Structure 1
Amino acid sequence: MEVANSNLFLNIKGMRFFSKLYNLEIVHSALEYIPHDNDIFIATIPKSGTTWMQTIVYALLMNGRAFDDDINDYKASNPFLEMDGQQAIESMQRPGAIKTHLVFNYLPYNSNAKYITVIRNPKDVCVSFHRFITSIGRGAQNDIAFDTFFNDFLAGKTGHVDYFEHLISCWAHRNDDNVLLILYEDMQKDIRSVIKRVANFLNIEISEELLERIVIVSSFDYLNKARYNEKIDSKDNVATFKFLRKGITGDWRTVLSDEQNRRLETCFREKTKHIHELNILWDQYDVFNKE
C-alpha cells in the first residue's frame, strides 16, 4: 500500500486523493469493486463536465426527471465510486450512474458495463480546477496560489490524477464498444446532438419532447437556479463543494499569462505528439495556436 509522503494526499497507484476528503480504506474498496453488467460509469477528470453529464444521464434514465424532482433519489442513483466505496455502489439505487475520477486504466472493468467519459481542454481544466479547490471550505488546498497550482498541473502533481495520463488513457479506449467519449466543448456547441449520442449509447429511445426537457433540466441555468451546489454537498460537512461555476469554454484566456499559455501548449504538444488525432483535437475550438 503506497501512501504519500505529505499529509496532503493519499497516494494510491499513482493517483492522489486529498487526505481531508477521502478515506484510504474506502478508496481501496472502490478499486476492488466488481462491476455489474448493467453498470454505467461517468469517468472524468475533475472540472470536465461531470455534473452536467450526470444530470443528462439521470434525466435519460428517468424519462426527463430533473435532479431536484426527488433529490434523495438523485443522490442514491449517483454515487461517487472512490468517495463512497464498494458497499455504497452495491446498494445504490438502480438504474443510475457511478461517478469516478479514476484513471481509465484503473477503473473497475466489465465488458458489458458502459463507460461515458468526458474530456475537456487542459487550459480550462487547469483554471477551473484551481478555482474549485480554492473554494472548498476546510478542504484541500484552499490557499494555493494559481502560479503554484499551474506548475503542479504541468508536473502532474495536483489532486486526483495527472491530466495528461487521464486524457491519454481515456483516448486509448475511445473506440471500445462499451465506451462513449464526449468532448466538453461539443457539449457547449451542440448539447442536443450530445444528448442524442448518449441516449443511443444507453439504448434509450428519445423523443423531441424528451430531448427538449433534458436540455432544460441539465442546463447550467436550471442547475444554478435549483441550487445544485447547496443540495449536493459533502455528507460529512468536512467541505463545501461548489460543483458548478461558469461552465463556459475559453475562461483560461482571462487567467493564463502569455508565458503560462506557451508552457501549457508546449506540454500538451509534447505529451500528445505521437497521437495525431488527439494532438489536433481542439484545433476547431481555437484552444491552441496552430503550428
Structure 2
Amino acid sequence: MDENTRYISNTFQHNGVPYLNQFNRSLIETPEIVKCREDDVFVASYPKSGTTWLVEMVSLVMNGGNTDFNTSAWQQERHPMIEANFKAPFWLPWVIHLLKLLKPLMPKAIQNLVFLKRLLLAETHMKAAIGIEHMKRLESPRLLKSHLPYQTFPTQAISKKCKIVYVARNPKDTAVSYFYHCSLGMFPLDYKGSWNEFYELYVNGKVWYGSWFDHVLAWWQRKGDDNVLFLKYEDMKKDPKGTVKTIAVFLDVTLSDDIVDKIVEFSSFKSMKSNKAVNISLSIGDKNKHQFIRKGVVGDWMNYFTVSQNKEYEKIYKERMKGSGLDFEW
C-alpha cells in the first residue's frame, strides 16, 4: 500500500484512534465537557452498523409512534451526532440565501452546475453541523447519537447512567457499507481509493473510529450495565417487531401492539429510503450510490471480499473474538 494511504485521509489521532478532522477534537480529548441530562438517550455504534435505522426506531418509541415528528426535519437536526463539528464559513448562509432567490431565474444549465448543487446541499447540514452546540437547543428528553468508542464516550453519560442503545453489525458488511460511505464524493467523504485499499485500512484500524473489534468489544463488555442495551443489526433485520418491543421495555415506554406495528412499518428500510428527512442525498451524481441509505442487506460483503481477503479476515476474526461470547451471522 502507498505510504499516503496508511491512514484514511483528513485524519487526526487520539490514543491511537483515527478521527475525521471535522470532528470535535476537544470533545474527543476531553469527554467530560459534554453536558448531559439524566433523561438523555444515546444511540451508539461503530459507523455503518444500522445507526440511522436504530435512531428512527428509538425516536419513534420515545415519541409514542408520532411519525409527524420524524418527517419534520432531517434526522441530524432532530438527533444530532454529538462529535460533529462542521464549521461553515461565515459567508456561506448569505451565499446560499442569495442563490435560492436567484435560482428560479437561472438557465437550467446553470442550475445543474455541480458547484451550485453542492452549495445548496450544504444548507441541509448547517443547523446541526456542530453537534455539541446544537444539542443544547433541544428540549428534553433528547435522543443523541455518536460513533465514539466507549473509552472516549461523554463522561456524564456514563456517570449519570443515561440510557445507551448500542448496535453492532457483522464486520464484513460493515466494511463494505463504510467503504461506500467514505466514497460518497463530497468533502470530507471523498475517499478516492479502491475497495482493496480500503480493506487494508479497515483491517488495520486505519479508518475513522479505528478498529471494529476494539469498538464493538469494548461496548460488548458493558452489556450487563443497567443503562446499556446491546443490539445486533442482523437480529433487528430478522425480528424488527421484537426489537421495537425490547427498546420500549428498556426505555420504560408502554406501547400498544398497533403502535408497535406502526413503528416497524415507518422505520422499515423501504419507508426510510423514501423519507427525505432520513435518506438525504449527500452528493452529486448516481442517486443510488450517493444516498445516505444504500442497501441495508445482510451478506453484501460476498460481492466485494476476495477469496484471499475473506480467508485472512476469518482468521483475524476468530483470533480477536475468541472467548468474547459474541457471534454474528454472515
1:54 alignment counterpart: 55
> Equivalent of 1:255, from 286, 301, 304?
304
**TM-superposition CA deviations, 1:32-54 (whole Å, max 9, x none):** 21422111111100110100011
2:16 aligned partner: 14
Give 1:42's aligned residue. 43
Q: CA deviation at 1:63?
A: 1.6
One-letter amino acid of the counterpart of residue 131, structure 1: Y
Q: Deviations over 1:226-277 (max 9, x none)?
A: 233327x69xxxxx974311111110011111111111111111112232x1
Check if 1:161 corresponds to 2:210.
yes
1:188/1:272 CA distance change after superposition, 3 Å: same
Aligned equivalents of 1:78, 1:89: Cα separation in 2? 8
Is it true that 1:98 corresponds to 2:98 in the alignment?
no
SS in 2 for 1:71: coil
Q: Give unmatched runs, 5+ long, in structure 2.
A: 1-5, 85-129, 284-288
The 2-side partners of 1:155 and 1:177 are apart by: 33
SS, match of residue 230 in structure 1 = coil
Measure the CA separation in 2 of the matches of 1:22 and 1:241. Answer: 21
Partner of 2:233: 184
CA distance in 1, matches of 2:139, 2:16: 31
Bigger Rg, which one: 2
Query: Structure 1: how far apart are the matches of 2:32 and 2:178?
Result: 24
Within 5 Å, which residues of 2 pair with 1:122-161?
122-161=171-210
CA contact (8 A) 1:45 1:119 kept: yes
Runs of 4+ aligned residues of structure 1 deviating over 4 Å after TM superposition are 4-7, 25-31
Conserved? CA contact 2:83–2:146, under 8 Å: yes
Q: Share of identical aligned residues, percent? A: 27
Contact 2:83–2:131 (CA<8 Å) still a contact in 1?
yes
Give the AA of the match of 2:44. A
Classify the secondary structure of the residue corresponding to 2:71. Answer: coil
TM-score (norm 2): 0.75
Aligned counterparts of 1:116 and 1:139: Cα–Cα separation in 2: 27
Taking the aligned partners of 1:54 and 1:64, their CA distance within structure 2 comes to 13
TM-superposed deviation, 1:187 = 0.6
Instruction: Supply the distance in 2 between the matched residues of 1:6 and 1:215 (Cα, whole angstroms).
Output: 36
Report the CA distance between 1:153 and its aligned residue: 0.9
Q: 2:30, 2:134 → 1: CA distance?
A: 10
SS at match of 1:116: strand
1:82 maps to amino acid: E
**Which of the numbers 117, 120, 127 marks the counterpart of 2:169?**
120
**Aligned-partner residue type, residue 136 of structure 2:** E
Aligned match for 1:224, one of 252, 269, 273: 273
- C-alpha RMSD of matched pairs (Å): 2.4
